[in-house]
Amino acid sequence: AQSVAQPEDQVNVAEGNPLTVKCTYSVSGNPYLFWYVQYPNRGLQFLLKYITGDNLVKGSYGFEAEFNKSQTSFHLKKPSALVSDSALYFCAVRSPTSNTGKLIFGQGTTLQVKP
Amino acid sequence: SAVISQKPSRDICQRGTSLTIQCQVDSQVTMMFWYRQQPGQSLTLIATANQGSEATYESGFVIDKFPISRPNLTFSTLTVSNMSPEDSSIYLCSVGYRGTDTQYFGPGTRLTVL
């Protein structure tokens, strides 16, 4: 069965410091991996995805994520955090064999960036 | 990416009533989905809205409780029927295009059932 784990409920970083939000997955075959961000009282915004190619993918707002097949991970990173990055972050996976496009989401990680 | 709107943005409803949520996209899309996000929880797929045919429901969700329509390639509705407080959630539609694997989400409908 497909699954996604975000082991940290909350990540706290100081503004200007690098941030990492962790995600591990379990899916048969080569996964399609996604990161979304949700600001309070808002829908989900797409940040970035990995389908194939370079393991390091770059996305919106200066975020990037590294696909590591051996560790089945897809951690979200940013070199220098901003207070405005504070939000709820979701990792999601889709099986390439799925013909429905269904996304499986992790539990979410709240990122708190303090000034 | 698509511009997706949902109506209503929020509602407070009484137990036993039904609410229909609309999802409108500014362009034709291949796939439309409905997700539920219960308070403090992650997103769970309710169903895939199929244009011109019955929706495909995920395990644990049934058509009688969550009837879905998709009359064309830009519009879908989700009805939450015979509501109970356990149905209090954010309901989000998402869309996908043929040839791309990314889903884009609407702003969500925040439902509170008293």
Distance of CA A67 to the CA centre of its chain: 10
How much is the average pLDDT of B64-74? 95
pLDDT in tens, A22-79: 999 998 888 899 999 999 878 899 999 999 889 999 999 999 999 999 999 999 999 9
Q: How far apart are CA A36 and CA B68, in angstroms?
A: 25
Q: How far apart are CA A62 and CA A72, in angstroms?
A: 23
Portion of chain B with pLDDT greater than 90, in percent: 82
Say if CB A86 and CB A10 are below 8 A apart.
no
**Partner-chain contact A102 B107, CB within 8 Å:** no
Mean pLDDT of chain A: 93
Chain B hits for A5, Cβ within 8 Å:
none
Chain B hits for A51, Cβ within 8 Å:
101
How much is the average pLDDT of B80-95? 96
Q: Is B8 on the interface with A (CB under 8 A)?
A: no
Instruction: To the nearest 10°, report the CA torsion of A74, A84, B24, B49.
Output: 20
Strands B109-113 and B10-13: parallel
Selected for mutation to probe chain A from B41, B44, B101 (highest A CB count within 10 Å) is: B101
What distance in Å separates residue A39's CA from the closest CA in chain B? 10
**Partner-chain contact B104 A46, CB within 8 Å:** yes
Residue type, B31: M
**Partner-chain contact A90 B42, CB within 8 Å:** yes
Tokens of A18: 């690098």
Scanning the structure block, which residue is given the tokens 């941030």?
A19
Q: Using the 8-state DSSP alphabet, how is residue B63 labeled? A: T
Give the A-side interface with B, CB within 8 Å. Answer: 32, 34, 36, 41-46, 49, 51, 90, 94, 100-103, 105-108
Scanning the structure block, which residue is given the tokens 């996976």?
A93
Which pLDDT band, with edges at 50, 70 and 90, does A99 fall under? low
User: In terms of Cα–Cα distance, which of A3, A1, A8, A2 is closest to A76?
Assistant: A8
Return the SS3 of A3. Answer: strand
Q: How far apart are CA A91 and CA A3, in angstroms?
A: 10
Instruction: To the nearest 10°, report the CA torsion of A108, A111, B2, B5.
Output: 80
pLDDT in tens, B25-35: 999 988 899 99
Quote the pLDDT of residue B112.
97
**Partner-chain contact B92 A100, CB within 8 Å:** no
Tokens of A58: 């770059």
